[in-house]
Amino acid sequence: MLKAAAKRPELSGKNTISNNSDMAEVKSMFREVLPKQGPLFVEDIMTMVLCKPKLLPLKSLTLEKLEKMHQAAQNTIRQQEMAEKDQRQITH
């Protein structure tokens, strides 16, 4: 890293971005630093994976209507059953 900086004196702080107006010049002055010498270390650490965030699917109108009807139907049936149970208890 140090070597690369030394090779390119323009990066060692000689030219600061004082002239912001001249973008083209600034662009040409800054170049990426790609060290071509020296060993390269890549340490591959096995990390654990999180499950991904989950967008929830929207429901179609038909599905919503179906679910609503289900709910209503089940409620009616439950009420009916409760009423029957109550009656049975009264008669006993």
Partner 1 sequence: MSSEMEPLLLAWSYFRRRKFQLCADLCTQMLEKSPYDQEPDPELPVHQAAWILKARALTEMVYIDEIDVDQEGIAEMMLDENAIAQVPRPGTSLKLPGTNQTGGPSQAVRPITQAGRPITGFLRPSTQSGRPGTMEQAIRTPRTAYTARPITSSSGRFVRLGTASMLTSPDGPFINLSRLNLTKYSQKPKLAKALFEYIFHHENDVKTIHLEDVVLHLGIYPFLLRNKNHIEKNALDLAALSTEHSQYKDWWWKVQIGKCYYRLGMYREAEKQFKSALKQQEMVDTFLYLAKVYVSLDQPVTALNLFKQGLDKFPGEVTLLCGIARIYEEMNNMSSAAEYYKEVLKQDNTHVEAIACIGSNHFYSDQPEIALRFYRRLLQMGIYNGQLFNNLGLCCFYAQQYDMTLTSFERALSLAENEEEAADVWYNLGHVAVGIGDTNLAHQCFRLALVNNNNHAEAYNNLAVLEMRKGHVEQARALLQTASSLAPHMYEPHFNFATISDKIGDLQRSYVAAQKSEAAFPDHVDTQHLIKQLRQHFAML
Interface with partner 1, residue 51, by CB under 8 A: yes
Establish if 82 lies at the interface with partner 1 (CB under 8 A): no
Q: What is the largest CA-CA distance in the chain?
A: 102
Find the binder of partner 1 among 17, 34, 48, 90 (CB under 8 A): 48
- In this chain, which of 55, 88, 90, 92 binds partner 1, going by CB under 8 A? 55
**Cβ contacts of residue 42 below 8 Å, gap of 6+?**
none
Measured over the CA atoms of residue 13, residue 15, residue 18 and residue 20, the dihedral's sign is negative
Pick the binder of partner 1 from 6, 33, 63, 82 (CB under 8 A).
Answer: 63
